[in-house]
Amino acid sequence: MRKKILIINGPNINLIGSREKNIYGKTSIEEIKTECEVHGANYYNFEIEFRQSNSEGDIINWLQEVEKKFDGLIINPAAYTHTSIAILDSLKTITKPKIEIHLSNIHSREDYRKKSITAEAADGLISGFGKNSYLLGIDAINQIIK
């Protein structure tokens, strides 16, 4: 049976590929979604479900589905990384493997971006590898699940 991995993307991730290309790259979120689906299926026989919302409430609702419907979680909380105790609290309820990812290196950015509130509840943090952060997240989830 295929393992199901949920990838959640936070606010403004729908604009990558067109916004601040020097920070987030030129690859669109749809292209990243396709790469994740192919990588997950070809290397690990994972079924990848990919979601994005600009709404904190949507993200919290999706996090509450993880325990019953998924085998692992990859999350790019985007700006909520630095502000959302509600997302942190939701992440803490999940016992399945969880990896936080970021396209940019949050530690080389503005001071307010250097602290991830949400990473406290993750099994690991991958940051700074552009679109490859997603693929590395899939690799990391596989290692934890094994």
Reported as a single tens digit per residue, the pLDDT across 1-13 is 899 999 999 999 9
The pLDDT score that the predictor gives to residue 19 is 73
The pLDDT score that the predictor gives to residue 95 is 98
Domains along the chain with CATH numbers? 3-145 (3.40.50.9100)
Chain centroid, CA 23 distance in Å:
17
The pLDDT score that the predictor gives to residue 17 is 80
Q: Which of 24, 44, 80, 134 is catalytic?
A: 24
Q: Which of 39, 44, 80, 102 is catalytic?
A: 102
The question of whether 24 is a catalytic residue gets the answer: yes
Residue ranges of the chain whose pLDDT lies below 50: none
The pLDDT score that the predictor gives to residue 25 is 66
The pLDDT score that the predictor gives to residue 26 is 83
The pLDDT score that the predictor gives to residue 36 is 98
The question of whether 102 is a catalytic residue gets the answer: yes
